[in-house]
Amino acid sequence: AQTVTQSQPEMSVQEAETVTLSCTYDTSESDYYLFWYKQPPSRQMILVIRQEAYKQQNATENRFSVNFQKAAKSFSLKISDSQLGDAAMYFCAYRSPKVNDMRFGAGTRLTVKP
């Protein structure tokens, strides 16, 4: 079964600076999808960014970008120009096109310092 590992339980960043959250995963599949979800104190899971494994180009969404290393099975999230509203739990997730499930890592709690 696929597993997702987030090795950083907590991270902090100064407002306006850049932070990178790490994620690694284990799979034998060649086609899959990777996601970063944000969970603010309100609890609702919000999609931050998505990457299709067949795409070599790294996904970007405004201040959020990923570094997708397929061979290394690594999928890190970079947040540029960090804002106070970025403070939240961030979950990395893996989804196989063959299985109706999304595997989540344990999460990284991001604190943004003013």
Residues that bind other proteins (CB under 8 A): 4, 9, 33, 35, 37, 42-47, 50, 52, 91, 93, 95, 97-98, 100-107
Comparison of 87 and 105: residue with beta carbon closer to other proteins: 105
Minimum CB separation from other proteins for residue 48, in Å?
A: 11
Paired tokens of 34: 């990777």
Any idea what the Cα angle at residue 105 is, between residues 37 and 50, rounded to 5°? 35
Paired tokens of 87: 């403070």
- Alpha carbon distances (Å) from 46 to 37, 49, 91: 5, 9, 10
Minimum CB separation from other proteins for residue 70, in Å?
A: 17
Minimum CB separation from other proteins for residue 91, in Å?
A: 6
